[in-house]
Amino acid sequence: MTKNSAHAQKDGHITKNGHKVFQSEIEADGNGKLQDKNDKKVGLGKKVTLIRGISIIIGTIVGAGIFISPKGILKNSGSIGMSLVVWIACGVLSLLGALSYAELGTCIQKSGGHYTYILEAFGPKMAFIRLWVELIAIRPAAMAVISLAFGQYILEPLFMPCGIPPMAVKLATAIGLTSVIYLNSMSVTWTARIQIFLTFSKLLALIIIIVPGMYQLFKGETKNFENAFDLSNVKLSGMPLAFYSGMYAYAGWFYLNFVTEEVDNPERTVPLAIFISMVIVTSCYVLTNVAYYTVMSAEELLASRAVAVTFAERLLGNFSIVVPVFVALSCYGSMNGGVFALSRMFYVASREGQLPKVLSMVHINRHTPLAAVIVLYPTTMLQLFVGDIYSLLNFMSFLRWLFIGLVVLGLVYLRYTKPDLPRPFKVPLFIPVVFCITCFFMVFLSLYSDPVSTGIGFAISLTGIPAYYVFIYFDHRPEWLQRALGKCLLV
């Protein structure tokens, strides 16, 4: 073997066509040069079609929330009618944000979502802070929560009507999360196909609730709507909190932008997939809540531990056992879509030099960013078995809207700083402005309503500033730090 070959084996990777590839998939030819076994271009293929794009968005938005507890919106809005108005308004606001992201996705055709757009608009320091917060806190906690919901509901039919042992939930959760990581590591095509199946499962679950609910409505079960807009319990101070809950339920419309480089014909596919997905999700959310109110009064809904299960028990009888299964599939789809999209953000950040270079390696046969897929696995598994992750989510939830608002502000900023940037899809300026103001208002609300938790969240995010200077900015690092970094970075 040549000296170059030995060097490649020692480092564990080489560069081919601008991408890192795994040493186990490389062999030397007759001239001693390294090539991949099939002599194919190594990269992430454009395998995300319109249907797959829609499935990624819907499959990630529709998680456990709509099935378990829409109580937050009802509690803070004060009446059934106002809660439905909030659901519709949150859908419209989410659509405004999604359309803003569609413009960004068509004029900046790089994967990475929030990270890429902040990098383009505001530079590497702000982008790194967003990446840092996502990597160390927000994403492991969010992934652990949705995974735990999967574990809880996949075991529900086996233990009903008894309680489920906490350790059994965690073990089922660990198995589910591991299978998602494995699937995303092995094949982009199969990941997308399973996401389509899970998306249809989610929609079927909603249909199982909507159709009987609409039947009850047409039969005349409208007593719970008679004083729907009774304003006696409506408090203006609660309305922003209701919107906050609603926007959380719609979160996920931005995930297609994380995989822009893998989207087929992004100029057409990205905006169309976003628009179709948001119309479907908003319609399903509103109709599902209407269905709930045909069976439960506002007081009964607020007293329910799991709204969808209560609805099914009252209306579907023995068939109600399928609801927890569909909730579990819904959570699994959110896990799958989240891992698929976020791995691309870490892949792009590595390519930009802000994460270890191993994360930009692409498997030469499977064409998956294997290292970027598994990077969150250890921290998420740790969150599953130790500590209360829900409190961490409370600390971090406002940061999501802070940075999303910053991204959309970046769209407005780029309109003036880069007016000649090609924009195949362009939204009217009032759309990003209205959405941006809404995001910053929710952030301000968090500062006002829960200053302690918000302050802790800000403190964690501010640790990204020294981290940026230590890991990224300084060329002449201390010798001990260079040695430590050398163990985890492949240069």
Running DSSP on this structure, what letter comes out for residue 23?
G
316-348 burial by CB neighbour count: b if 16+ within 10 A, else e? eeeebeebbebbbbbbbbbbbbbbbbbbbbbbb
- CA-based nearest residue to 247, from 461, 398, 412, 452: 398
Residue 229, in any domain of the structure: yes
Q: How far is 441 from 456, CA to CA, in rounded Å?
A: 19
Residue 481, in any domain of the structure: no
| 332 and 400 share one domain | yes
The phi and psi torsions of 26 (rounded to 5 degrees) equal -120, 140
Residue 487, in any domain of the structure: no
- pLDDT string in tens for the chain (491-residue length): 433 333 333 344 444 444 444 433 333 333 333 344 444 444 555 667 888 888 888 888 887 768 766 888 888 888 888 889 999 999 999 999 999 998 998 888 887 788 889 988 898 888 888 888 888 777 787 788 788 888 888 887 887 767 788 888 889 989 999 999 998 888 878 888 888 888 888 888 888 889 999 998 888 888 888 877 877 777 776 777 788 778 878 888 888 887 777 788 888 888 899 999 999 999 999 999 999 999 888 888 888 767 887 888 888 877 778 888 888 888 888 888 888 877 888 888 888 787 777 777 777 777 778 788 888 888 788 877 765 555 555 556 677 888 889 999 999 999 999 888 888 888 999 999 999 998 888 788 777 766 776 777 778 888 888 888 877 765 545 555 555 655 554 44
| Domains of the chain: total | 2
Do 79 and 298 form a contact (C-beta atoms < 8 A)?
Answer: yes
Residue 474, in any domain of the structure: no
| 312 and 447 share one domain | yes
Q: How far is 439 from 236, CA to CA, in rounded Å?
A: 18
Do 344 and 369 form a contact (C-beta atoms < 8 A)?
Answer: yes
Residue 167, in any domain of the structure: yes
Alpha-carbon radius of gyration of the chain: 24
Q: What residue numbers bound the domain in which 148 lies?
A: 49-464
| 72 and 37 share one domain | no
| 65 and 20 share one domain | no
Q: How far is 311 from 214, CA to CA, in rounded Å?
A: 13
| 76 and 172 share one domain | yes
| 317 and 190 share one domain | yes
26-28 and 19-22 strand pairing: unpaired
Burial classification of residue 91, based on how many CB atoms lie within 10 Å of its CB (0-12 exposed, 13-18 middle, 19 or more buried): buried
Residue 469, in any domain of the structure: no
| 8 and 144 share one domain | no
Q: What predicted TM-score, i.e. pTM, was given to this entire model? A: 0.76
| 251 and 347 share one domain | yes
446-455 burial by CB neighbour count: b if 16+ within 10 A, else e? beeeeeebbe
Residue 476, in any domain of the structure: no
CATH number at residue 326: 1.20.1740.10
| 103 and 24 share one domain | no
| 155 and 297 share one domain | yes
| 288 and 324 share one domain | yes
Residue 38, in any domain of the structure: yes
| 63 and 31 share one domain | no
